[in-house]
Chains A and B, each alone.
Chain A
Amino acid sequence: MPKSHFYFSLFVGAVLVILGNALSSQDSVGWTLVSLGVAIPILAIISQQFGKASDEAQILEPINISND
Chain B
Amino acid sequence: MQLDIVILFFLLGVGARLIKANIDFPKGLYQGLTLFLMIAIGLKGGIALAEHGSSSLIPQSFAVIGLGIVLTLLAFPVLLYVGKLTRKDAASIAAHYGSVSVGTYAVAVALLDSQNIAYEAYFPLFVVLLEMPAIMVGLLLAKEAGKKVDTAKLLHEVFCNQGIVLMSGALLIGYVAAEQAHTITPLFKTLFHGALALFLLEMGMVAADRLKHMKSSGQFILSFGIAMPLLGGAMGCATGHMIGLSHGGSILLGVLGASASYIAVPAAMRVAIPDANHGMSITASLGVTFPFNVMVGIPTYIAFSQWMAA
B180 within 8 A of A: no
A2 within 8 A of B: yes
> Closest Cβ of chain B: how far from A26's Cβ, in Å?
6
Q: Would you call A9 and B296 a contact (CB within 8 A)? A: no
Find A8's partner among B1, B82, B230, B299 (CB 8 Å cutoff).
B82
Q: Would you call A5 and B220 a contact (CB within 8 A)? A: yes
What mask results when residues 2 to 24 of chain A are scored 1 for a CB within 8 Å of chain B, else 0? 10111011001101100100010
Find A40's partner among B84, B223, B295 (CB 8 Å cutoff).
B223
Q: Would you call B223 and A8 a contact (CB within 8 A)? A: yes
B185 within 8 A of A: no
B245 within 8 A of A: no
B222 within 8 A of A: yes
Find B226's partner among A5, A12, A23 (CB 8 Å cutoff).
A12
Q: Would you call A4 and B300 a contact (CB within 8 A)? A: no
A28 within 8 A of B: yes
Q: Would you call A28 and B1 a contact (CB within 8 A)? A: yes
Q: Would you call B226 and A43 a contact (CB within 8 A)? A: no
A12 contact set on B, CB distance < 8 A: 223-224, 226-227
Majority-rule SS of B interface residues: helix
Select from chain B the residue with minimum beta-carbon distance to A27: B1
Q: Could you tell me the distance between the alpha carbons of A13 and B219 in the complex, rounded to whole angstroms?
A: 12
What mask results when residues 66 to 94 of chain B are scored 1 for a CB within 8 Å of chain A, else 0? 00000000000010011110000000000
Select from chain A the residue with minimum beta-carbon distance to B228: A12
Q: Would you call B296 and A15 a contact (CB within 8 A)? A: no
Select from chain A the residue with minimum beta-carbon distance to B300: A29
Find B300's partner among A2, A9, A19 (CB 8 Å cutoff).
A19
Known pairs A28-B1, A29-B303; A44 contacts B296 (CB<8 A): no
Q: Could you tell me the distance between the alpha carbons of A32 and B297 in the complex, rounded to whole angstroms?
A: 10
Besides the known contacts A9-B219, A12-B224, 4 further A-B residue pairs in the complex with CB atoms under 8 A apart: A4-B82, A15-B230, A28-B1, A40-B223
9 residue pairs, one from A and one from B, having the closest CB atoms: A5-B220, A12-B223, A28-B1, A29-B299, A12-B227, A9-B223, A27-B1, A47-B219, A4-B82
Interchain Cβ contacts under 8 Å between A and B, 21 examples: A1-B218, A4-B81, A4-B83, A4-B84, A5-B82, A5-B218, A5-B220, A5-B223, A9-B220, A12-B227, A16-B226, A19-B230, A27-B299, A29-B1, A29-B300, A32-B295, A33-B296, A33-B300, A36-B226, A43-B219, A47-B218
